[in-house]
Amino acid sequence: MAESPPPPADLDGQVAIVTGAARGIGAGIAAALAAAGARVARVDKAFGKDRPELDPDRDLVLVADVTDEAQVADAVAAALDRWGRIDVLVNNAGYAPSESVEEITGARWREIVDVNLGGAFYFSRAVLPAMTDAGGGRIINVGSQLGLVGAAQLSHYAAAKAGLHGLTKSLARELAPRGILVNAVAPGPVETPGLAHTSDEVLESTRRQIPLGRFAGVEEIAPTVLLLASAGGSFYTGSILNVSGGHVM
């Protein structure tokens, strides 16, 4: 007898916060969570310029800089004021400017580490009271395959993502007794607007290293996040799920 397929992610009634949700992977994750029934607080400092048209009953658009602890606290408070709970936090905000070691200033190093790692820490810490009071929750960090293998011209970004993977495992150990599961998704190259700043030569060289021979679509990252957010992810914690088309094995 064939086994029945796993049930689809059902997040009806749950509340999720997604950072870096204005575009790319973050926007795709927010849309997938909403399609699964969650009410979603979409956080991004870019929303100050371009606010999407969304369902006001199920979506909350928040302008916040993830490196500003006061703005992080205000964003979490706004989600709690609207819906009274936070079940899922997706720490997705980040960016990766290509720069050699000699070009990276101390200020730039601190900026990249704070956006890609600090923001995840600030948001995770801010949602802990609500998740603890509720008896559990899910924190999902969007890391990177580069945090596993490193990358030339991206030492600040790769270091920050490696730190995010370490933060994931540390929080998973510390928060498991509270019923809070902490995991990470480590995507390989994804077709997003950010690739527009990468040369064709580098893109083609990277593509040749991927056994599947292509970059991922945003829609191919979101299902792993849905798994970790849903009942199907109830025995995952401290995991780094690699979604890279075989680029990292």
Q: Report the Cα 68 to chain-centroid distance in Å.
A: 18
157 is catalytic: yes
Of these residues, 95, 122, 157, 236, which one is catalytic? Answer: 157
Query: Using CA atoms, how far apart are residues 249 and 244, in angstroms rounded to an integer?
Result: 8
User: ∠ at Cα 203 (197, 207), nearest 5°?
Assistant: 150
Query: Using CA atoms, how far apart are residues 147 and 143, in angstroms rounded to an integer?
Result: 7
DSSP 101-128: TTT--HHHHHHHHIIIIIHHHHHHHHHH
Nearest residue to 74 (alpha-carbon basis) of 62, 85, 86, 84? 62
Contact by Cβ (8 Å): 108, 156: yes
**Strand, helix or coil at 96?**
coil
Residue 204 burial by Cβ neighbours in a 10 Å radius (0-12, 13-18, 19+): exposed
Contact by Cβ (8 Å): 47, 240: no
Helix (H) or strand (E) holding 129: helix 119-134
Query: Using CA atoms, how far apart are residues 119 and 92, in angstroms rounded to an integer?
Result: 9
Question: Would you please indicate which residues are annotated as catalytic (active-site) residues?
Answer: 157
